[in-house]
Amino acid sequence: MADIVDRKTRSRMMSGIRGANTAPEMAVRKFLHSKGYRYRLHASDVPGRPDIVLRKLGSVVFVHGCFWHRHAGCRFAYTPKSNIEFWKKKFSSNVARDQVVRRQLRRDGWRAHLIWECQVNDRGLKKLLKDLRKKAPNHTNGS
């Protein structure tokens, strides 16, 4: 199936997609702040530059887009109909990078939490809060 817009338009549309400060990320940040949590954003000294870093808890939060990070079974994790090989390679490299980052974080003593964009709702945010409140194991990552 051919794309419904020309290449130049598609390129402009794709370049407008942000990797940081997305609407789901902003909603998670606003929620955590309202619950009294203070955090750093996109800390470059933490593997994977997590969206939210809660040093005192030894935790990081990733707010993943379902499309880009391939949320299994999610309706937003579709594969475009054109340039399929490019997308397969792109998605598999994103997923592999996510796995490497999570392993590195665990090795460094961090607890990594993940919330998918489709879970940024009342129920998903409450679950994230519950997970964050669980007693953190001993960590040595700058708290």
Least confident of 5-14, 70-79, 118-127: 5-14
pTM for the model: 0.82
Query: Would you tell me how many other CB atoms lie within 10 Å of the CB of residue 62?
Result: 21
Residue 71 lies in a domain: yes
Q: What pLDDT digit, counting tens, does each position of 117-126 carry?
A: 999 999 999 9
Residue 138 lies in a domain: no
Whether 10 and 3 have beta carbons less than 8 Å apart is answered as yes
Supply the DSSP symbol for 58.
T
pLDDT at residue 143, as a whole number:
42
User: Domain containing 84 — which CATH number?
Assistant: 3.40.960.10
pLDDT at residue 139, as a whole number:
47
Q: Count how many domains the chain has.
A: 1
Residue 85 lies in a domain: yes
Does residue 21 have a pLDDT over 70?
yes
Q: What pLDDT digit, counting tens, does each position of 86-129 carry?
A: 999 999 999 999 999 999 999 999 999 999 999 999 999 999 99
Residue 60 bridge partners (DSSP): 53, 112
Whether 28 and 61 have beta carbons less than 8 Å apart is answered as yes
Residue 79 lies in a domain: yes
Whether 47 and 97 have beta carbons less than 8 Å apart is answered as no
Whether 10 and 23 have beta carbons less than 8 Å apart is answered as no
Does residue 20 have a pLDDT over 80?
no
Domain coverage including residue 55: 20-133
